[in-house]
Amino acid sequence: MRVLILGGTLFLGRHLVDAALARSHTVTTFTRGKHDEVLPPAVERLTGDRDGELGALAGRSWDAVIDTSGYVPRVAGASTRLLSEQADQYLFVSSISVYKDWPGVSASDESSPVGVLEGPSVEEVNGETYGALKALCEREVEAAFGDRCAIVRPGLIVGPYDPTNRFTYWPDRVARGGEVLAPGRPERPVQIIDARDLAGWIVALAERKMAGVFNATGPDYLLTMTHALEVMRHVSESDARFTWASDVFLERNEVGAWMELPLWIPEKEGSGVGDVNCKRALAAGLTFRPLEETVRDTLAWRATLPDGAEWPAGLKPERERELLALWHSEPTA
């Protein structure tokens, strides 16, 4: 199978390249060329920009296109219209953030309402617009490819190469040991998916020419925050001890949900943070490796990075110490 990956040099894209090559497919990437040095020699590398510089794609054909880099509908629409005549199938990596009011409400299944933008010309991607823009990108894909496309809506993607630190923060912090600020209710459900599991499954969808919309997060059992942290402590063999601070306390002290304190969003009535319905993806063959393996490999990758690296997510050590001191001074918090 000839596979074109739009993107492919950062996180999920790198795992998609590896998964496709491991299954003996021919892989081409289309990127801006900023990180092509990470690609294996077997990969054909096309250089351009999805926003107006698509010339390198002209006159070519592929069995499947996997799109990891569609964020703005105008830009996504240009590439999907071009490729609709050059590819048999299109697989678009979207997000569970497309759902209206998520995470304030649960996504019962893939038919749940998606978000809309106040103005159709909005193109700035931020926390307020990201989900609705992704939903509009989905429409562009469906308009161009019809029943020849699959829309994949992952939850939090984790594992080696993750540039966000939204999951890596936790194995790294637990491995360092000592008193760890743990957020919210210990039995609160969380959902994550290892990028390698997601990548392998997407390639398998392409092989079977599967179409439709799929929520894709995991695991396939109820994972609680306390269990996740205990697995991290066991894998890292650390002496970490967890101090559980309530949502009320964290909100009162203006702790930033999700990014400043990863994997935490205050629980509200009807919250859907940890209970997105993924039965359709499971029926289509999505499987998950043990959490221990994800934690172990994430820590091994983290150890290859330079000390003192700046990350977009995670509590700073001094901020954690400050919050722990406040928690211990407020016994009714």
Lowest-confidence region among 109-118, 162-171, 270-279: 270-279
Q: Can you give the residue range of the structural domain that contains 146?
A: 2-160+192-216
Are residues 135 and 34 part of one domain?
yes
Are residues 68 and 78 part of one domain?
yes
Polymer length in residues for the chain: 333
Copy the structure tokens of residue 236: 């890292």
Please tell me the predicted confidence (pLDDT) of residue 105. 62
Residue 285 lies in a domain: no
Tell me which residue of 206, 252, 233 sits closest to 67, measured CA to CA.
206
Q: How many CA atoms lie within 13 A of 238 on its CB side?
A: 23
Please tell me the predicted confidence (pLDDT) of residue 308. 79
Most distant pair of Cα atoms in the chain: their distance: 68
Does residue 266 have a cis peptide bond before it, meaning omega lies within 30 degrees of 0? Answer: no
Which run of H or E residues covers position 149? strand 149-154
Does residue 103 have a cis peptide bond before it, meaning omega lies within 30 degrees of 0? Answer: yes
- Let me know if 303 is exposed, middle or buried by CB neighbors in 10 A (0-12, 13-18, 19+): exposed
Are residues 249 and 127 part of one domain?
no
Are residues 61 and 21 part of one domain?
yes
Do 221 and 157 touch, CB atoms closer than 8 A? no
Are residues 255 and 135 part of one domain?
no
Q: Which CATH number does the domain housing residue 251 bear?
A: 3.90.25.10
What does the pLDDT look like over 24-52, one tens digit per residue? 999 999 999 999 999 999 999 999 999 99
Asked if residue 268 has pLDDT above 80, the reply is no
What does the pLDDT look like over 169-228, one tens digit per residue? 999 999 999 999 999 999 999 999 999 999 999 999 999 999 999 999 999 999 999 999
Residues 6+ apart with CB under 8 A from 220: 278, 282, 287, 288
Higher pLDDT: 119 or 65? It is 65
- Let me know if 53 is exposed, middle or buried by CB neighbors in 10 A (0-12, 13-18, 19+): exposed
Q: How many other C-beta atoms are found inside a 10 Å radius of the C-beta of residue 204? A: 16
CA 263 – CA 206 distance, rounded (Å): 30
Q: Which CATH number does the domain housing residue 20 bear?
A: 3.40.50.720
The predicted model scores a pTM of 0.95
What does the pLDDT look like over 145-186, one tens digit per residue? 999 999 999 999 999 999 999 999 999 999 999 999 999 999
Residue 279 lies in a domain: no
Q: How many separate domains does the chain show?
A: 2
The residue-averaged pLDDT of 59-74 equals: 97
CA 192 – CA 158 distance, rounded (Å): 7
Q: How many other C-beta atoms are found inside a 10 Å radius of the C-beta of residue 83? A: 23
Are residues 99 and 10 part of one domain?
yes
Do 206 and 63 touch, CB atoms closer than 8 A? yes
Do 132 and 119 touch, CB atoms closer than 8 A? no
DSSP H stretches of helix in 29-176: 73-83, 130-145, 169-176
Q: What are phi and psi of 240, to 5 degrees?
A: -60, 140
